[in-house]
């Protein structure tokens, strides 16, 4: 099962502020990464994975993740 960055964080019982502090970034930067996981640098993705205790392959960092979700909504809306 693959989890989103947000799901992985929530599963580890951490807040966005906790994650930002642990990853040494501003909370707004971390929040941006939850919305756009493809923007997270590889090193930070590995760090995130270690913090939440999951493998990088168990978290959805797909480069097209935000685009594919938006496209999916548009095509669903237009067919309704």
- Supply the CATH number for residue 75's domain: 1.10.260
Q: What is the pTM of this model?
A: 0.75
**How does pLDDT run across 43-68, given as a tens digit for each residue?**
999 999 999 999 988 898 765 544 33
Which structural domain, as residue segments, surrounds residue 25? 5-79
User: With contact defined as beta carbons under 8 Å apart, do 36 and 66 qualify?
Assistant: yes
Domain count, the chain: 1
CA distances from 29 to 32, 35, 67, 80 (A): 5, 10, 19, 36
């Amino acid at each position: 099962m693959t989890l989103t960055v947000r799901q992985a964080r929530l599963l580890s019982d951490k807040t966005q502020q906790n994650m930002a502090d642990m990853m040494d970034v501003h909370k707004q930067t971390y929040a941006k990464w939850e919305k756009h996981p493809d923007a997270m640098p590889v090193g930070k993705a590995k760090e995130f994975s270690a913090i939440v205790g999951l493998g990088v392959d168990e978290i959805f960092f797909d480069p097209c993740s935000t685009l594919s979700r938006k496209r999916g909504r548009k095509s669903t809306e237009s067919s309704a």
